[in-house]
Amino acid sequence: MRILAVSGSLRPESTVTTLMHAALGLLPPGSEATVHTALTALPYFDPGVDPDDAPASVRAWRGPVAAADAVLIASPEYAHGMPGVLKNALEWLVGSGELVGKPVALLTASPHPAGGDRARAWLTETLTVMSAALVPEASLGVGMVRSRLGPDGALTDPATAAALRGAWAAVERAVRTAPADR
Ligand SMILES: Cc1cc2nc3c(=O)[nH]c(=O)nc-3n(C[C@H](O)[C@H](O)[C@H](O)COP(=O)(O)O)c2cc1C
């Protein structure tokens, strides 16, 4: 299973990005993960850009999404929503359709107990209208995230680790049953 992972946090010490890497460390054997780290290279979405003449940064985002079997989106919550940089990146995929039928896992995290639930609700709505194949068992919110990570960034909370393993098992099932012609 080839996973493309992306984090909506730009902070170098980001807890969300750290958690995303910990999640990737729990992928089932034989899986491959690629992390897209260039969301800030994307221009603001412009529907007037000719699809055949998209900037290199847009092609460098669309290509790996298209090539992945499934996508993991990790996100903090800002002002009860997803970060603008993530919304912008998703807008670049609306017309070109790389996420149509693609299994998607969602991981939000916050220092607050709710775990970024409102950002995940917004991501769910946006990805649903984009016809992504959201995997319900792989939609996780991790509250009080700092208490679940060690100083080295390792995941120290067994319950979160178990939830992430369960999420990957569900993603694997979704990849197996996703239509081949998506
Ligand atoms: C401008 C701003 C707005 C925020 N809004 C929310 C919010 O609405 N809900 C929430 O749970 N946390 C909110 N937070 C806290 C973030 O979830 C917190 O900073 C989190 O650690 C960000 O993840 P990071 O460690 O990956 O940067 C906000 C933080 C900032 C800087």
CATH number at residue 74: 3.40.50.360
CB-based contacts of 64, cutoff 8 Å, min separation 6: 4, 34, 36
Is residue 28 situated within a structural domain? yes
pLDDT at 75 over 80: yes
Is residue 33 situated within a structural domain? yes
DSSP letter for 81, please. Answer: B
Average pLDDT (156-182) is 92
Is residue 49 situated within a structural domain? yes
Average pLDDT (68-75) is 98
Is residue 182 situated within a structural domain? no
pLDDT at 181 over 80: no
Q: pLDDT exceeding 70 applies to what percent of the chain?
A: 98
pLDDT at 96 over 90: yes
DSSP letter for 52, please. Answer: G
Which residues line the pocket of ligand 1, CB cutoff 6 A? 9, 11, 14-17, 76-80, 110-112, 114, 116
For residue 51, what pLDDT is reported? 80
- One DSSP character per residue, 146-178 reads GGGB-TTS-B--HHHHHHHHHHHHHHHHHHHHS
**What residue owns the CA closest to ligand 1's atom 12?**
77
Total structural domains in the chain?
1
Range of the domain at 115: 2-177
Mutate to test the pocket of ligand 1, among 9, 17, 37, 78 (most ligand atoms within 8 A of CB): 78
